[in-house]
């Protein structure tokens, strides 16, 4: 196992996280295989919480499996399916089971998933859930004011989309989450680096990067279908025309390789931006590609151990 996310964020080198999607059934082997593929390649791996509002193995159970496989988990928790009682219960349970990191978000609406008729909860939103986690940890009380004899000690994370409208307010939105208690943030996919760099400048001006580690979201575009989906179906994702032309200009057999090359180039550009702590690699179902991306980019815990100059 690597030294963990908390230590990595203090190391001064580019940090790498990735994602593991729990399976749609009760087979633990799928989680174990994904964790084994990422072990030693990333500093920690997000375990998603019924992503896309689709039923999957719980993020808490999968996080325990990831830990057993020798990889540090970041347990995601959304407000969609639970009220404040259940959210606090799961947070406390995660602490009791030794889950060291939580990533808290509002969550997709059920109409987007496989149970569109499900009743959404949204008793809290993402900002309020971050504040709730900080209250449990730092104040040692529940939202009802009841004291905790044993406090949690997880690292608290959040998400942000630098490209979502109105873009002028996105830096202040993250500042609000940091004020609530967020210590690291993972962003939506970054394909257009210049607007992201401007967002980072806004964060630095607000002092956000002094209090919160920023992990820029990246991922390879593997096919024309994925390109079309990202460009037209995913809110807040901006694929520049020049990038789309580049990918469409290669033979079909080379599309995936070109998408991987673009991802590596993007990673290198992002980690050079002041205030960027590292990257969050989204390669759902293709965890084996993460090692190639971070290896070619020259970052990650394995590179650091080799003493190539990225260590603090």
Quick: pLDDT tens for 214-250: 999 999 999 999 999 999 888 789 999 999 999 999 9
Instruction: Give the DSSP H or E segment for 247.
Output: helix 241-248
Do 90 and 82 touch, CB atoms closer than 8 A?
Answer: yes
Rg (CA), the chain: 19
Dihedral of CA atoms 44, 48, 49, 53 in degrees, nearest 10, equals: 160
Is it the case that residue 174 has pLDDT exceeding 70? yes
CA angle 67, 215, 230 (to 5 degrees): 100
> What's the pTM?
0.94
Query: Cα–Cα distance between 241 and 246 in angstroms, integer?
Result: 9
pLDDT band of 306, cuts 50, 70, 90: very low
Q: How large is the average pLDDT for residues 186-211?
A: 97
Taking CA atoms, 276 is separated from 13, 46, 89, 184, 210, in Å, by 10, 19, 33, 11, 11
> What mean pLDDT is reported for the chain?
94
Query: Cα–Cα distance between 255 and 221 in angstroms, integer?
Result: 8
Is it the case that residue 310 has pLDDT exceeding 60? no
| DSSP assigned state of 157 | E
19 SS3 class: strand
Query: Cα–Cα distance between 86 and 165 in angstroms, integer?
Result: 31
pLDDT at 265: 98
Is it the case that residue 307 has pLDDT exceeding 70? no
Q: Which candidate, 47, 288, 25, places its Cα nearest to that of 186?
A: 47
β pairing state of 213-218 and 276-281 = parallel
In the chain, the domains with their CATH numbers are: 5-303 (3.20.20.220)
Do 193 and 266 touch, CB atoms closer than 8 A?
Answer: yes
Q: What is the pLDDT of residues 16-66, one digit of tens each?
A: 999 999 999 999 999 999 999 999 999 999 999 999 999 999 999 999 999
Quickly tell me which residue has 């060291």 as its tokens.
100
Quickly tell me which residue has 């939506």 as its tokens.
188
The token pair that represents 53 in the structure block: 């509002």
Total residue length of the chain: 312
pLDDT at 311: 36
Taking CA atoms, 139 is separated from 103, 132, 143, 182, in Å, by 19, 10, 10, 15
The separation between the first and the last C-alpha atoms of the chain, rounded to the nearest angstrom, is 19
Q: Is the dihedral of CA 219, 220, 225, 228 positive or negative?
A: positive
């Amino acid at each position: 196992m690597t030294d963990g996310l908390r230590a990595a964020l203090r190391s001064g080198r580019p940090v790498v996280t990735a994602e593991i999607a729990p399976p749609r059934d009760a087979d633990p082997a799928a989680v174990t295989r994904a964790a084994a593929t990422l072990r030693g390649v990333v500093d920690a791996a997000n375990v998603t919480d019924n992503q896309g509002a689709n039923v999957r193995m719980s993020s808490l159970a999968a996080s325990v499996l990831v830990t057993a496989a020798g990889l540090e988990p970041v347990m995601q928790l959304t407000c969609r399916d639970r009220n404040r009682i259940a959210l606090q219960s799961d947070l406390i349970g995660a602490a009791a089971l030794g889950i060291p990191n939580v990533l808290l978000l509002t969550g997709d609406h059920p109409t987007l998933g496989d149970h569109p008729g499900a009743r959404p909860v949204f008793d809290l939103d993402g900002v309020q859930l971050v504040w709730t986690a900080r209250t449990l940890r730092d104040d040692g009380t529940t939202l009802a004011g009841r004291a905790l004899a044993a406090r949690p000690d997880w690292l608290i994370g959040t998400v942000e989309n630098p490209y979502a409208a109105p873009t002028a307010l996105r830096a202040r939105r993250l500042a609000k989450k940091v004020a609530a208690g967020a210590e690291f943030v993972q962003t939506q996919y970054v394909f257009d680096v210049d607007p992201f760099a401007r967002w980072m400048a806004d964060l630095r001006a607000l002092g956000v990067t002094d209090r919160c580690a920023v992990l820029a979201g990246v991922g390879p575009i593997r096919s024309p279908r994925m390109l079309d989906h990202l460009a037209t179906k995913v809110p807040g994702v901006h694929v520049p025309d020049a990038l789309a032309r580049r990918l469409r200009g290669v033979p079909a057999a080379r599309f995936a390789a070109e998408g991987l090359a673009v991802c590596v180039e993007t990673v290198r550009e992002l980690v050079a931006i002041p205030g960027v702590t590292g990257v969050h690699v989204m390669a759902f179902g293709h965890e084996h590609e993460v090692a190639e991306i971070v290896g070619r980019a020259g970052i990650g815990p394995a590179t650091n151990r080799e003493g190539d100059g990225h260590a603090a």
